[in-house]
């Protein structure tokens, strides 16, 4: 009996930790399989984005007959949380937990928010559309619950992506960061493409029951993939868990973050470039259809062309960055490629050249890939080791806000020009050309702002100097 007890004890003692979500040690080299597993959180982010912006957008307008303006407002609600990414990232930097974790608790909370939002979303949408007995219910129930669902999912997505990227940056050595950035972008794209196809196929025969099944399946897949992504990834840090050093305030940490390292300039470049590349996203397909008389099948393939261009951009950026290229240079050349690409798209109308338009789209995607990869890698590389969450939060805040504003601005500009009195007399391309021209302007501005960065961050020893002064500065501030 005693023998058995001893045997059981030793067995359980050895097995139990295997079933706990802790990383054994902070291993020096991170196998690619573990990185791929971590990148699964980007798949759930992509899935949430497609569901909100693509699938539910259509279902709400076409099947549920919700007014388009209300749908637009609901879908843009998550954007409210985008600026808070910097704060979330900062909180995860200074998070103190007995377990010695700082990223996992936030990714877990974000996952729960995403799950909760998806869990109530289908019912909220059905009530919003006045399904069944909900016709007689007061309107505020549907409105507030749908808004709550979108806000929960949006907050969850921002949280998971910000802190997930910070965790990935924590785990890999500096020279491997380009690989991680490429992987993260590819997984996001993969999640979006696969879920768009799957959701589209599942919702072709729409029924309310099917809507509930699809959205709640997305909720379960989100939580499953995120647990899989998190499992045994973050090493526990006992010294951090037991440290009693006072933590800096957000304002203070931000002040340290923005001084010296051109952080603000880089953020402006990210904002301008993202606006420049993002405005046309929703206008390329109608432009091809209205102006160049492309068929629906052809315009749908445009999205694929844009994605292929983006993938090529990520691949090239990863390659040259791993060989030691400067990320700012890569981003700069991405914006440089974008200018003639949008020029080709504009010129496609007078020449009525579908080939020129498709080629322009391909290179716009390629430039966006280079630009996105370069700026994110630059953000990771410039971030002081204990401000990674804040740096990536600031990146995400600027990037998500700029992308949201860009899409809205592009759509509003097009609609305003269409609604102008006497707009029938305009050429078919009139509503689109100003948007594409504005994108070129934004890219040119981004290039202008980025130009000084090219020279200032030229030497690696100079960059190392910046980082080291910042870290000592922060350390000096956090010690009383």
Partner 1 sequence: MSDPDKIWPTGLTEREAEEVHSYLIDGTRVFGVIALIAHLLVAVSTPWLG
CB of 208 to partner 1, least distance (A): 9
Residues, the chain: 480
Nearer of residues 157 and 336 to partner 1, judged by Cβ: 157
Nearer of residues 115 and 442 to partner 1, judged by Cβ: 115
Determine, following the binding rule CB under 8 A, whether residue 124 of this chain makes contact with partner 1.
yes
Binding residue for partner 1, selected from 41, 90, 106, 108, defined by CB under 8 A: 108
Nearer of residues 216 and 299 to partner 1, judged by Cβ: 216
CB of 116 to partner 1, least distance (A): 4
Determine, following the binding rule CB under 8 A, whether residue 296 of this chain makes contact with partner 1.
no
Determine, following the binding rule CB under 8 A, whether residue 235 of this chain makes contact with partner 1.
no
Binding residue for partner 1, selected from 23, 134, 315, 322, defined by CB under 8 A: 134
Q: Tell me the window of 38-46, 121-129, 379-387, 399-407 that interacts with partner 1 (CB under 8 A).
A: 121-129
Determine the Cα angle at 88 with ends 223 and 221, to 5°: 10
Helix ranges (DSSP H) in 173-295: 177-202, 208-230, 238-242, 250-258, 263-278, 284-290
Binding residue for partner 1, selected from 97, 243, 300, 468, defined by CB under 8 A: 97
Binding residue for partner 1, selected from 54, 72, 83, 105, defined by CB under 8 A: 105
Nearer of residues 213 and 469 to partner 1, judged by Cβ: 213
Binding residue for partner 1, selected from 1, 2, 25, 98, defined by CB under 8 A: 98
Residue 254 DSSP class: H
Q: Which of 22, 26, 173 is nearest to 101 (CA)?
A: 22
Q: Which of 18, 32, 57, 443 is nearest to 282 (CA)?
A: 57
Q: Are 309 and 361 in contact (CB under 8 A)?
A: yes
Determine, following the binding rule CB under 8 A, whether residue 137 of this chain makes contact with partner 1.
yes
Phi and psi torsions of 366, nearest 5°? -60, -45
Judged on CB neighbours under 10 Å (0-12, 13-18, 19+), 283 is buried
CB of 170 to partner 1, least distance (A): 20
User: 8-37 mask for partner 1 (x: CB under 8 A)?
Assistant: -x--xx--xx--x-----------------
CA distance 412 to 438: 13
Binding residue for partner 1, selected from 116, 286, 343, 411, defined by CB under 8 A: 116
CB of 110 to partner 1, least distance (A): 12
CB of 374 to partner 1, least distance (A): 38
Residue 77 DSSP class: G
Determine, following the binding rule CB under 8 A, whether residue 449 of this chain makes contact with partner 1.
no
Q: Are 39 and 183 in contact (CB under 8 A)?
A: yes
Binding residue for partner 1, selected from 57, 145, 298, 353, defined by CB under 8 A: 145
Q: Tell me the window of 141-149, 157-165, 173-181, 392-400 that interacts with partner 1 (CB under 8 A).
A: 141-149
Nearer of residues 17 and 67 to partner 1, judged by Cβ: 17
CA distance 196 to 209: 19
Determine the Cα angle at 289 with ends 417 and 275, to 5°: 55
CB of 64 to partner 1, least distance (A): 12
CA distance 363 to 375: 18
Size of the site for partner 1 (CB under 8 A): 28
Binding residue for partner 1, selected from 61, 70, 112, 308, defined by CB under 8 A: 112
Helix ranges (DSSP H) in 291-353: 296-322, 327-351
CB of 280 to partner 1, least distance (A): 37
Long-range CB contact pairs, 49-55, < 8 A, 24+: 49/157, 49/192, 50/191, 50/192, 50/195, 50/196, 50/199, 51/118, 51/195, 51/199, 51/215, 51/218, 52/78, 52/150, 52/153, 52/154, 54/196, 54/199, 55/196, 55/199, 55/200, 55/203, 55/214
Determine, following the binding rule CB under 8 A, whether residue 224 of this chain makes contact with partner 1.
no
Binding residue for partner 1, selected from 75, 127, 306, 321, defined by CB under 8 A: 127
Residues at the contact surface with partner 1, assessed by CB under 8 A: 9, 12-13, 16-17, 20, 97-99, 105, 108, 112, 115-116, 119-120, 123-124, 126-127, 131-134, 137, 141, 145, 148
């Amino acid at each position: 009996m005693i023998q058995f007890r001893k045997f059981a004890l030793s067995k359980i003692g050895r097995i139990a930790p295997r079933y706990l979500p802790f990383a054994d040690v902070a291993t020096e080299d991170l196998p690619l399989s573990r990185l791929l597993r971590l990148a699964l959180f980007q798949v759930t982010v992509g899935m949430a984005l497609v569901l909100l912006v693509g699938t539910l957008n259509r279902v709400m307008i076409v099947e549920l007959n919700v007014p388009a303006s209300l749908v637009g407002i609901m879908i843009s609600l998550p954007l409210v949380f985008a600026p808070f990414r910097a704060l979330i990232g900062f909180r995860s930097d200074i998070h103190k937990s007995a377990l010695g974790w700082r990223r996992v608790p936030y990714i877990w909370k974000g996952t729960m928010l995403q799950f909760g939002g998806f869990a109530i979303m289908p019912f909220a949408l059905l009530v919003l559309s006045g399904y069944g007995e909900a016709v007689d219910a007061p309107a505020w129930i549907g409105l507030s619950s749908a808004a709550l669902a979108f806000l929960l999912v949006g907050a969850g997505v921002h949280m998971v992506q910000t802190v997930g990227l910070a965790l990935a940056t924590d785990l890999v050595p500096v020279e491997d960061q380009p690989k991680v950035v490429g992987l993260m972008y590819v997984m996001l794209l993969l999640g979006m493409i696969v879920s768009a196809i799957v959701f589209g196929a599942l919702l072709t025969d729409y029924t309310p029951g099917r809507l509930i099944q699809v959205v709640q399946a997305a909720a379960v897949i989100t939580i499953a993939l995120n647990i899989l992504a998190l499992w045994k990834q973050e090493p526990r840090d006992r010294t951090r868990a037991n440290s009693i050093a006072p933590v800096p305030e957000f304002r203070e940490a931000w002040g340290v973050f923005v001084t010296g390292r051109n952080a603000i300039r880089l953020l402006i470049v990210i904002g301008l470039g993202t606006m420049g590349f993002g405005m046309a996203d929703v206008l390329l397909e109608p432009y091809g259809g209205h102006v160049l008389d492309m068929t629906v099948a052809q315009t749908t393939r445009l999205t694929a062309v844009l994605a292929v261009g983006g993938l090529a951009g990520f691949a090239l950026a990863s390659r040259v960055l791993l060989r030691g290229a400067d990320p700012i240079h890569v981003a700069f050349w991405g914006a440089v490629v974008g200018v003639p690409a949008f020029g080709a798209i504009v010129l496609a109308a007078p020449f009525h050249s579908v080939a020129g338009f498709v080629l322009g789209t391909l290179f716009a995607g390629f430039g966006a890939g280079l630009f996105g990869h370069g700026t994110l890698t630059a953000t990771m590389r410039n971030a002081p080791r204990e401000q990674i969450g804040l740096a990536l939060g600031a990146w995400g805040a600027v990037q998500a806000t700029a992308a949201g504003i860009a899409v809205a601005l592009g759509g509003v500009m097009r609609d305003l020009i269409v609604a102008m009195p006497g707009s029938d007399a305009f050429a078919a391309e009139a509503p689109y050309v100003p948007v594409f021209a504005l994108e070129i302007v934004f890219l040119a501005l981004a290039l202008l702002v980025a130009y000084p960065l090219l020279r200032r961050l030229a030497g690696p020893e100079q960059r190392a100097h910046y980082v080291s002064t910042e870290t000592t500065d922060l350390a000096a501030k956090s010690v009383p």
